């Protein structure tokens, strides 16, 4: 029986499994991940305010894997060899006839003193630390910012930082404490969020002005100290620092012959196939794909890439053309804990719907519908 291994239990990995099983009821599938859990990171923005807890955003996958008839290997991948046929893990090797790599990326933590900053998208535990630090603070400066991978324009996480920024502002206002704090948004980009489109940037900056949030933009990062953000354009004090660095490839990629982009990600074509490898595909943050420099890879985009990867891998086994591609689409709701702004961008244009309460509830509704697939 043909055996496919899927590496990673995030958006791309689980969408790949659903697509594979929908198209082939008999194929043997193994999921390799440290835990049989989906960590729904888009909702961690609501943990500091108490709208969500870890139990709300960590979804056990036992029921899903049983329904999908998927084997589970609890392990961390450490390498790939034999042209992709052998996956090395800290719990032994896994052999397969085809592989879909969806193990995400890792944050570039090279700035001096970066240990003094919290990186929100690292997961639930960090979101809980932000919640607890906010509770303990009586006042002061909160600095929130992000940077990218200079060699991989698409490898960044800007959207969530706007959500933490506006969400914290909303929370402090609801608590009657906003006057005791200064919020500063910082980024080496002069127009942060430019990947969302010009209209979106204008709306985000206008929202900062409306909320009295200061900005420190257009200056290359130099590093951090325990209570300080340092840039080439000056430094400023901060009692709490949230910073999202750029993303590069997982360390286990180094223990493989996988082709890498300049930014350290796995080089793939428009069909999500890894260049030079037989029946090895990649989706989401792990890969570097052809497309516009604003193209995202996480969440919705990872789902679209995973569908294409799964369809093409099965096509190869069946001897049919593996020519499925993915639509390039940026779709997100930038939330503020009580309102949301919708941003949709495609190669034909962009749409921005201004902040309103209905979009906040739409984001919560999407969460419920999406997670129902895995409960």
What's 194's domain CATH number? 3.50.50.60
Residue 278 domain-assigned (yes or no) = yes
Same domain, 195 and 255: no
Q: Is 298 a residue whose pLDDT tops 80?
A: yes
Same domain, 121 and 238: yes
- Which CA distances in Å does 18 have to 73, 223, 367? 17, 42, 18
Q: Is 196 strand, coil or helix? A: helix
Q: What pLDDT is stored for residue 193 in this prediction? A: 87
Contacts of 231 (CB under 8 A, 6+ apart): 186, 188, 216, 219, 220, 221, 222
Q: Is 297 a residue whose pLDDT tops 90?
A: no
Q: Is 329 a residue whose pLDDT tops 90?
A: yes
State how far the Cα of 204 lies from the Cα of 214, in Å rounded to an integer: 12
Terminal Cα-to-Cα distance of the chain (whole angstroms):
28
Using DSSP bridges, classify how beta strands 280-282 and 98-101 pair: parallel, antiparallel or unpaired. parallel
List the structure tokens of 355: 């902040």
CB 109 within 8 A of CB 304: no
Same domain, 234 and 256: no
Same domain, 229 and 258: no
Q: What pLDDT is stored for residue 175 in this prediction? A: 98
Same domain, 68 and 177: no
Residue 336 domain-assigned (yes or no) = no
Same domain, 147 and 83: no
Residue 371 domain-assigned (yes or no) = no
Q: How confident is the model at residue 158 (pLDDT cuts 50, 70, 90)?
A: confident
Same domain, 177 and 270: no
Residue 212 domain-assigned (yes or no) = yes
Choose the final residue of a domain: 318, 336, 353. 318
Number of domains composing the chain: 2
CB 345 within 8 A of CB 196: yes
As a whole-number percent, the residues of the chain with pLDDT over 70 amount to 100
Same domain, 228 and 264: no
DSSP class of residue 332 equals E
Entry pTM: 0.96
pLDDT in tens, 223-265: 999 999 999 999 999 999 999 999 999 999 999 999 999 999 9
Residue 358 domain-assigned (yes or no) = no
Choose the final residue of a domain: 218, 245, 272. 245
Mean pLDDT, the chain, rounded, equals 96
Same domain, 263 and 213: no
Residue 130 domain-assigned (yes or no) = yes
Same domain, 124 and 226: yes
Same domain, 140 and 225: yes
Q: What pLDDT is stored for residue 195 in this prediction? A: 85
For tokens 């209209």, the residue is 199
Q: Is 153 a residue whose pLDDT tops 80?
A: no
Residue 27 domain-assigned (yes or no) = yes
Q: Is the CA virtual torsion 304, 305, 306, 310 positive or negative?
A: positive
Instruction: Give φ, ψ of 338 to 5 degrees.
Output: -140, -20
Same domain, 238 and 254: no
Residue 178 domain-assigned (yes or no) = yes
- Residue 272 belongs to what domain range? 3-105+249-318
């Amino acid at each position: 029986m043909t055996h496919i291994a899927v590496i990673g239990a995030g958006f791309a990995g689980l969408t790949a499994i659903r697509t594979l099983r929908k198209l082939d009821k008999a194929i043997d599938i193994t999921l390799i991940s440290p835990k049989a859990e989906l960590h729904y990171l888009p909702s961690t923005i609501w943990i500091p305010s108490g709208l969500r807890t870890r139990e709300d955003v960590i979804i056990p996958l036992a029921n899903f894997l049983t329904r999908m008839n998927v084997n589970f290997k609890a392990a961390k991948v450490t390498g790939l060899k034999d042209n992709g046929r052998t996956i090395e893990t800290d719990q032994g090797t896994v052999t397969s006839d085809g592989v879909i790599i969806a193990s995400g990326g890792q944050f570039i933590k090279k700035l001096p003193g970066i240990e003094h900053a919290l990186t929100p998208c690292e997961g639930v535990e960090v979101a809980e630390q932000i919640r607890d630090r906010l509770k303990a603070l009586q006042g002061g400066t909160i600095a929130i910012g992000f940077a990218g991978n200079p060699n991989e324009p698409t490898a960044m996480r800007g959207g969530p930082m706007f959500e933490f920024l506006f969400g914290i502002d909303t929370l402090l206002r609801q608590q009657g404490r906003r006057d005791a704090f200064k919020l500063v948004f910082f980024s080496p980009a002069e127009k942060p969020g430019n990947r969302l489109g010009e209209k979106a940037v204008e709306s985000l900056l206008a929202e900062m002005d409306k909320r009295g949030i200061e900005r420190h933009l257009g200056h290359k990062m130099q590093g951090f100290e325990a209570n300080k953000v340092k840039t080439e354009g000056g430094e400023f004090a901060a009692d709490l620092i949230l910073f999202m660095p750029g993303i590069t490839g997982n360390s286990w990629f180094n223990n493989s012959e996988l082709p890498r982009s300049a930014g350290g990600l796995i080089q793939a074509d428009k069909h999500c196939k890894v260049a030079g490898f037989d029946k090895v595909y990649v989706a989401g943050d792990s890969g570097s794909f052809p497309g516009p420099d604003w193209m995202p890879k996480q969440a919705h985009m990872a789902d679209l890439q995973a569908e294409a990867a799964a369809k093409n891998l099965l096509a190869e086994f069946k001897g049919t053309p593996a020519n499925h591609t993915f639509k390039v689409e940026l779709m997100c709701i930038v939330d503020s804990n009580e309102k949301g702004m919708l941003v949709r961008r495609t190669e034909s244009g962009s749409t921005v719907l201004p902040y309103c309460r209905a979009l906040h509830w739409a984001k919560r509704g999407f969460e419920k519908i999406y997670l129902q697939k895995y409960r």
